[in-house]
Structure formats: C-alpha cells, structure tokens
Amino acid sequence: MASVTKVPLSYIEINGARLAYRISGREDLPLLIDFHGGRGFGSHGKGFQSAFPLTDIVRLLAFDFRGHGQSSSTRPYTFAQIVDDIEALRKHFAGDRKVIISGGSFGGFIAQQYALTYPDSLSHLILRGTAPSHHHEEQALATLRERAPSRAPMASENMLKKVFGAFKDDNEFRLIIYSILPLYTEGEWDRDAVLESARNIIFNAESHNSLYSEEEKYFDYRDRLKEIEVPTLIIVGEKDWITPPTQSKIIHEGIKNSKLHIFPNANHSVQSEKHAEVIALIRRFLSEK
C-alpha cells in the first residue's frame, strides 16, 4: 500500500471550520469522498491509504470531520453539520458533478444521512462495517462483554458503556480505547503496535460526547433506506463486533439497488484485514454499468 505521507496534507475553510484533507488522482476522474469512522477519535489517514490503489479510476478525497484529527475543533458537532460540510466539499472539488461516497462505521452513518439529504449529489454509495440505526449498540455491548475477558482484559463494564456514551476527558478517552483496540481485528495482535496506535490517535472527548448526546445518538434510517436509489455496495466482516453483519443485512434489505458482501474471518477493520479483496470488489462495483 502507498504511504499516506507521500500525499501532502492540505486545509480548506468550510462552513466556518478548517478541515484537513488529502486528495489524489486526475481531476477528470470521478471524485470518491471517503468518510472515516470513530466519533471523536477517527481521522482520514487509514481510509485514504486503503483506497489509494483506486486512484487510477477515481480522484480520491479523504478528510477529517470537524472536531476530529487535524481539523479544527469548531462546533457544532452534529450529524447534520458534518453532512453539510461534505456537500460544500463536493461543490468545491466536483462542482455540479455527482460523486462516489464511501463511509465506514460512523462514517457509514454519515454516508447514509448524506445520501438521504442530498440524493442528487452522488452516483454510487459504498458502506463498510456500519449500521442503519443506533440499535446496533445493544448487540455490540453484548459482544464486548463476551470478548473482553480474552481480548480486552483491562476493560471494565463501566468502560465499555462509555464507548457509547460520554468520556470525562481526552485522557480517559485514550486509555479506554487503548484497552479495547485488540477487539477491532481478528487473530493475534501486536501489543507494541496497539500502544503506538493509541499514542498517535488524536482524541477529542468533546466532539465524541456531542455526537453521542441525546439529540444525536438515536439516529435511525431504517424506514428511509428505500429512498436510496443509487447503486450501493455493502461490505462487512463476518466477525465485526461493533456493527455486526445483521446490521448490513438490514441495509441490504432496505436499499433495493444494493449488493452485500460478508468477508469471512474479518472484523471491524475489514478494509485492512482483507485489503486486496475489498479493493478488487470496489473496483468491479464501480466498473459495472
């Protein structure tokens, strides 16, 4: 995989916020905008690096949501504001052209809301390890309790609940996520790599807590999925703990023009664990007429 650091980091002023982004690919190619996951601790780097092999057929844009990564901590932190930021980015980089939208986990929630809010702005939708409503949290907590003793022995029940609630501060946020990072992949994990990952992540408890507030956390697109008419590819790992395959099946059943692919022996980081297969699948999907 190409190194994300080879593509310069840039900034753009959008709706009063300063957003960090990377872009690569010829300007005449269709624009693919990738949305990262991780409310309050996600950033664009891994998604950009993962999708980089597609830059022979798309122009790839990935950015940090406001209150995430290297973008400014500019309120408000709401689903609607992030969606409006994305539409402004589309207009800036693609003009009147439709774009390909790809989102994983929390980014998949945003991708669905974007598709419902701006249906005329996208040509294709790609969803990775995501859910159509907040109801996935109950199953995720049950899986956490089951797997935590072996994969995250330092995580208490109270810590697990904070993942879907509120953190006291950035430091608590970092420590709890560090304790559960091994849950995101299958097989053996490199403990030193887990430490390095947690050390390098930028944590913003304020944006996380706002996006899990009473006003934001109870999202539910299930009854509106039928409104999404663009070709849609749904990807999920068979052993995804936080947005299990049952959630992707609901999306598949709701969006008529959709395809579902469940990758065996893959977890929430399916785009990394099954990288070559995921890229090949997306390439075929985008080439279909």
What is the pLDDT at residue 2?
Answer: 45
Q: Which of the 8 DSSP states describes residue 103? A: E
pTM value? 0.96
Q: CB count, 10 Å around CB of 143? A: 16
Range 4-133+220-287: architecture per CATH: 3-Layer(aba) Sandwich (3.40)
Average pLDDT along the chain: 96
Dist CA 188 CA 197 (whole Å): 16
What is the pLDDT at residue 3?
Answer: 52
What is the pLDDT at residue 160?
Answer: 87
What is the pLDDT at residue 172?
Answer: 98
Q: Calculate the alpha carbon distances from 87 to 15, 75, 121 in Å.
A: 10, 17, 8
CA torsion sign, 16 to 20 to 24 to 30? Answer: negative
What is the pLDDT at residue 5?
Answer: 58
Domain boundaries, the chain: 4-133+220-287, 136-211
**Do the Cβ atoms of 124 and 286 come closer than 8 Å?**
yes
What is the pLDDT at residue 4?
Answer: 57
Q: Calculate the alpha carbon distances from 234 to 37, 40, 118, 121, 185 in Å.
A: 15, 24, 19, 19, 19
Dist CA 102 CA 124 (whole Å): 8
What is the pLDDT tens value at each position of the chain, 289 positions in all? Answer: 445 558 999 999 999 999 999 999 999 999 999 999 999 999 999 999 999 999 999 999 999 999 999 999 999 999 999 999 999 999 999 999 999 999 999 999 999 999 999 999 999 999 999 999 999 999 998 988 899 999 999 998 899 899 999 999 999 999 999 999 999 998 888 999 999 999 999 999 999 999 999 999 999 999 999 999 999 999 999 999 999 999 999 999 999 999 999 999 999 999 999 999 999 999 999 999 7
